[in-house]
Structure 1
Amino acid sequence: MSSVFDTLKERGLLAQVTHEEQVREILEKEKVTFYIGFDPTADSLHVGHFLQMMVMAHMQRAGHRPIAIIGGGTAMVGDPTGKTDMRRMMTREEIQHNANNFKKQLSKFIDFGEGKALMIDNAEWLLELNYVQFLREIGVHFSVNRMLTAECFKSRLERGLSFIEFNYMLMQSYDFLKLFQKYNCTFQLGGDDQWSNILGGIDLIRRVEGKEAYGMTFTLLTTSEGKKMGKTEKGALWLDAEKTSPYEFYQYWRNVHDDDVIKCLKLITFLPLEEIEKLAQLKDQEINKAKKILAYEVTKLVHGEEEAIKAQQAAESLFGKGGNAVDMPTTEITTDELGEGMNVLDLLVKTNLIPSKGEGRRLITQGGLYINDSRVETVDLVIGTQDFKENQLMVRKGKKVYHKIALKK
C-alpha cells in the first residue's frame, strides 16, 4: 500500500524531506496533524500558493489533518525570505480581512468541517509574548552563527537586515513548538525557500520537548527556464475572480509553454498519473489538447466547474469553433463617449488595454494589434459605431490577449 508521500513524490511535488524513510512510514501508518503558513499581506491568495494548497488537499484526502496558519503575528514583523526590502506594517483589521478571504479560497481545496482542518492566526500567541521571557525560554536555543548561514538571511546581509526581521526565524520556530504542544502537530510543510525556518522549528521542539518533529518542502512552481510562474502583464495571477477573471485565469494556463504543460498537470491538478502519461505522448500541435485540459482542470479547482466551462467556451469562440464569448474580459463604452469616432490609441488607453499611447504606437508599429481580426496598420485609425458588430468590438493584442469592447447607449 502506497502512502501520500509516494503520491507527492511521484507527482514531483517534494523538494526536501527530513528523515525520508521515517516520514514515508509515518504517513502510511499514522494520521498526523501538519501545518502550512500563509502570509496575509494581500487580500487574495495567488498562483504562488497553489502547490501549498495542492499538498494540503493530497494530505487531507489521505486522512491527515491540515492546519492553515495565518501569519498575523509574523506579518507584523516581516519575513526576509525572498524579499529585498522590509515590508509595510499591517493593522489587525487588514490581516483579519485578508485571512477571511484566504479561508474562502482554501475551502475549495480543504474541508474545514468539524475536526477535519483548522485555520489559526499565530497572533493568538505571538502578540501576547513577554519579550524577556521569550528570550530566556526560546532565544537561548538559537545560535546566531548558524542563523547567519541560512539562505534567507545571507541574501539580505549585503543590503541590510533589520533586527526586527532577524527575529522571524525564532517566531516561526515558536509557531511550530506551540502547534506541537497544543494540537500534536508533528509536521511542518512549506515552499523550498522555508527550509531553514522549518529546520529551526524541528530543532526547537527537540530541545524543549525532547521529541521528534518532521518537515517537508515542495518545489516552487517555475517554468522550464526556472522563472516563477503566475506573472502576467497585469501582475500576479490571483485566485480572486475580481482580481483575475476566470477567463484570464483559464487563458494563462491554456498558453503555458509546451515544455511546462505535463509538469503543471502533475503538480496542480488531480488527474491520475496514468492519464497524464498518455497526454505526455502528444506531439507538436496535439499538445494543445493537453493545454486545454490543464486550463480547464485548474480553473475548475479555483473557480468551480461552471466558470471553467464558461471560460472554455469563451476561449473556443475566439478560434472559430463555436462557444460563447460573453465571459471574455469586457469593457463598456457609451455612444456619447465614442461620439463621431475615437482614435484607436485613445480607445485602448480608455479601456486600460495599454498603459500609454507610446506603448500603443509600438504595438501597432510591430504589427501586434488586431481589431475584429484585421491588423491595425496605422496609429491614425479612427474607431466609429460602424466598426461595432452587434455593438461589440473584438480586440487582440499580440498572440494571446483578447478583449471585448461593448457599446452601450
Structure 2
Amino acid sequence: MSAYTSDLLRTLDTRGYLHQLTDGAALDALAAHAVVPGYIGFDPTAPSLHVGSLVQIMLLRRLQQCGHKPIVLMGGGTGKIGDPSFKDEARQLLDEQGIAANVASIRRIFERFLTFGDGPTDAVMLDNADWLDRLEYIPFLREVGRHFSVNRMLSFDSVRLRLDREQSLSFLEFNYMILQAYDFLELSRRAGCRLQMGGSDQWGNIVNGVDLARRMDGVEVFGVTTPLLTTADGGKMGKTVAGAVWLHEDQLPHFDYWQFWRNTADADVGRFLRLFTDLAIDEIARLEALPGAGINEAKKVLATEATALCRGRAAADAAAETARRTFEEGAADQALPTLAVSGPIAIVDALLGLGFCASKGEARRLVAGGGARIDGEKIASETAMVEVGPEPVRVSAGRKHHGLLVRG
C-alpha cells in the first residue's frame, strides 16, 4: 500500500511514475488540499513528439485526472539553444519560423490527452520565449546568474558525462540549465506553478529551479522525476528498426502505432498498461496474470487502449480489426503500411522500403533465416523479385510485421 494520502502521489506511485521527489511529504500534503499547477517542458525540435515523450504526456494527464492543473511549457526560447542532457553533440538549431510551426503541430497532440480551457484544473500551454526572448543579459547575470555555482553545475551528470567523453559543450548549451531553472521561477510568478516534472535525466535542472525559487522569492516549489524507461531487454523505449514511433498520424500510420504496442514484450505488458492506458488497476492486474498465450490478449488490449488515447477510439478499433484480419484470417488490408512500386522489386528492397529492416544486410539475413514471406509463402532466395499486379501484395517480416506492395 502506498503511504501517500493525496490522490496525486498515490496514483503516480501505484502506476509506476515516481522516481525522485524533492520533498515528497510536503508535496503530498499540498496536493491533498489544494489544486497544484504543475508543468513539464517540451522542446519543439520536430513537428511531432514520439513515444519517448509519452510518459511525460501521461504524467500531465494523471495530474489533471487527480484534480490539478497541467501546464504544457513549449521551449520556444530554450529550443533555440538545445538541452545538452546526455547528448553526444550539439543539437541543430531551428529558426523562429520552424519553432513556431512545430509548436502549433505539437499542440494537436496534447489536445488529445488533456482538457484545455480557463477553469482551475484546465490545461494551458505556455511558451518560454515569452520571457526568455526579453531577458537583458547583464541584469539576468546579476539577478539570476549569481545564484548558480559553476562547480555544482559541472557536477551534474548531464554535463559531466559530456566532458568526461571529451565532447564539446558550448557555452550556449551550458546556459540551458540556468534558463530552465528560470522557467520554473517565471511559472511560479506568472501561473502559481508549484511543481515541475520530468524524466530522471532532468533531476539536476529541476533541483536548480527549486533552489532558485527559494533563493529569489522564498517560495517552496517541488520536483518529481519519472524512472528512465527501458524495455525488458534493456532497450530504449520507442526505438525500433524502422525509426522513431511518432505520435502524429501523418508521420506514422495508425496501424503501425497499434502494432508497436502489440509487439510489447511479455514482461513489459503490465507496466505499460499502468503507464500508458486509463484502465483500472484491478483490470490491469487481471490482464497481466493471464496464463500462457493469454498474454497476447493483454497485448491487444494495451495496443487498442494506448492507440485510442493518442489517435482516437475509431482509429484504434480500425487498427485492431486490421490486425485481426491480417493475423487471424490472413487477409490483406489497405490499413497496413504500404510501398508503391512501378515495376518488379527485389524482396530485399521491399523489406527495406517498408521499414522492416534497417539495411540490406539485415534484410538478407531475414530472408536466409526463413522470416520473409510474400502473401504467406516463405521466400527462399534473397535475389527473389516481387511482381505487383492490380491487387496489393502482402509482405511479411516474421510473424508480427506486415505491409503491402501496391502498383504506383
Match of 1:396 in 2: 396
Q: Kindly tell me: are residues 152 and 345 of structure 1, through their superposed partners in 2, closer, same or farther at Cα, counting changes over 3 Å? A: closer
Match of 1:84 in 2: 88
1:350 Cα deviation from its structure 2 partner: 6.3
Aligned partner letter, 2:397? K
1:343 Cα deviation from its structure 2 partner: 4.5
Match of 1:292 in 2: 300
Partner secondary structure for residue 8 of structure 1:
helix
Partner secondary structure for residue 198 of structure 1:
helix
1:55 has 2:63 as partner: no
Distance in 1 (CA, whole Å) between partners of 2:353 and 2:287 is 42
Report the TM-score, using the length of structure 1 for normalisation: 0.93
Contiguous gaps of at least 5 residues in structure 2: none
Match of 2:367 in 1: 364
Distance in 1 (CA, whole Å) between partners of 2:128 and 2:291 is 48
After TM superposition, list the pairs within 5 Å mapping 1:321-340 onto structure 2.
321=329, 325-333=333-341, 337-338=342-343
After TM superposition, list the pairs within 5 Å mapping 1:5-154 onto structure 2.
5-115=9-119, 116-154=122-160
Moved more, 355-364 or 302-311: 355-364
Partner secondary structure for residue 234 of structure 2:
coil
Which whole-Å deviations, capped at 9, do the CAs of 1:135-156 have from their partners, x for residues lacking one? Answer: 1000011111111111111111
1:134 Cα deviation from its structure 2 partner: 0.5
1:268 Cα deviation from its structure 2 partner: 0.8
Distance in 1 (CA, whole Å) between partners of 2:74 and 2:118 is 19
1:275 has 2:283 as partner: yes
Distance in 1 (CA, whole Å) between partners of 2:54 and 2:322 is 24
Contiguous gaps of at least 5 residues in structure 1: none
Aligned partner letter, 2:366? L
Which whole-Å deviations, capped at 9, do the CAs of 1:229-272 have from their partners, x for residues lacking one? Answer: 11112211100112111111111110111000000001111100
Aligned partner letter, 2:79? A
Distance in 1 (CA, whole Å) between partners of 2:370 and 2:203 is 47
Moved more, 234-243 or 214-223: 214-223
Partner secondary structure for residue 186 of structure 2:
helix
Is residue 337–residue 404 contact of structure 2 (8 Å, CA) maintained in 1? yes
1:224 Cα deviation from its structure 2 partner: 2.2
Match of 1:263 in 2: 271
Distance in 1 (CA, whole Å) between partners of 2:349 and 2:196 is 52
Distance in 2 (CA, whole Å) between partners of 1:2 and 1:350 is 50
Partner secondary structure for residue 404 of structure 1:
strand
Distance in 2 (CA, whole Å) between partners of 1:350 and 1:200 is 46
1:302 has 2:310 as partner: yes
1:87 Cα deviation from its structure 2 partner: 1.0
Q: How many residues align?
A: 400
Is residue 313–residue 324 contact of structure 1 (8 Å, CA) maintained in 2? no
Distance in 1 (CA, whole Å) between partners of 2:203 and 2:233 is 23
Partner secondary structure for residue 309 of structure 2:
helix
Distance in 1 (CA, whole Å) between partners of 2:376 and 2:26 is 59
Distance in 1 (CA, whole Å) between partners of 2:146 and 2:346 is 68
Distance in 2 (CA, whole Å) between partners of 1:342 and 1:183 is 58
Partner secondary structure for residue 251 of structure 1:
helix
1:160 Cα deviation from its structure 2 partner: 3.1
Distance in 2 (CA, whole Å) between partners of 1:320 and 1:57 is 35
Match of 1:379 in 2: 382
Report the TM-score, using the length of structure 2 for normalisation: 0.93
1:162 has 2:170 as partner: yes
Distance in 1 (CA, whole Å) between partners of 2:94 and 2:383 is 47
Report the structure number with the largest CA radius of gyration.
Answer: 1
Aligned partner letter, 2:403? H
Q: Kindly tell me: are residues 317 and 154 of structure 1, through their superposed partners in 2, closer, same or farther at Cα, counting changes over 3 Å? A: same
Which whole-Å deviations, capped at 9, do the CAs of 1:64-99 have from their partners, x for residues lacking one? Answer: 111111111111112111211011121111111111
1:57 Cα deviation from its structure 2 partner: 0.9
Match of 2:246 in 1: 238
After TM superposition, list the pairs within 5 Å mapping 1:347-362 onto structure 2.
357-362=360-365
Q: Kindly tell me: are residues 226 and 350 of structure 1, through their superposed partners in 2, closer, same or farther at Cα, counting changes over 3 Å? A: closer
Aligned partner letter, 1:369? A
Distance in 1 (CA, whole Å) between partners of 2:76 and 2:292 is 47
After TM superposition, list the pairs within 5 Å mapping 1:311-326 onto structure 2.
311-321=319-329, 325-326=333-334
Is residue 44–residue 240 contact of structure 1 (8 Å, CA) maintained in 2? yes
1:164 Cα deviation from its structure 2 partner: 1.4
Distance in 2 (CA, whole Å) between partners of 1:356 and 1:146 is 44
Which whole-Å deviations, capped at 9, do the CAs of 1:299-329 have from their partners, x for residues lacking one? Answer: 1011001110111011111222488723111
1:349 Cα deviation from its structure 2 partner: 5.8
CA RMSD of aligned residues (A): 2.0
After TM superposition, list the pairs within 5 Å mapping 1:179-190 onto structure 2.
179-190=187-198
Aligned partner letter, 2:379? V
1:199 has 2:212 as partner: no
Distance in 2 (CA, whole Å) between partners of 1:343 and 1:231 is 26
Q: Kindly tell me: are residues 201 and 350 of structure 1, through their superposed partners in 2, closer, same or farther at Cα, counting changes over 3 Å? A: closer
Partner secondary structure for residue 248 of structure 2:
coil
Aligned partner letter, 1:406? V
Distance in 2 (CA, whole Å) between partners of 1:128 and 1:327 is 48
Distance in 1 (CA, whole Å) between partners of 2:24 and 2:208 is 18
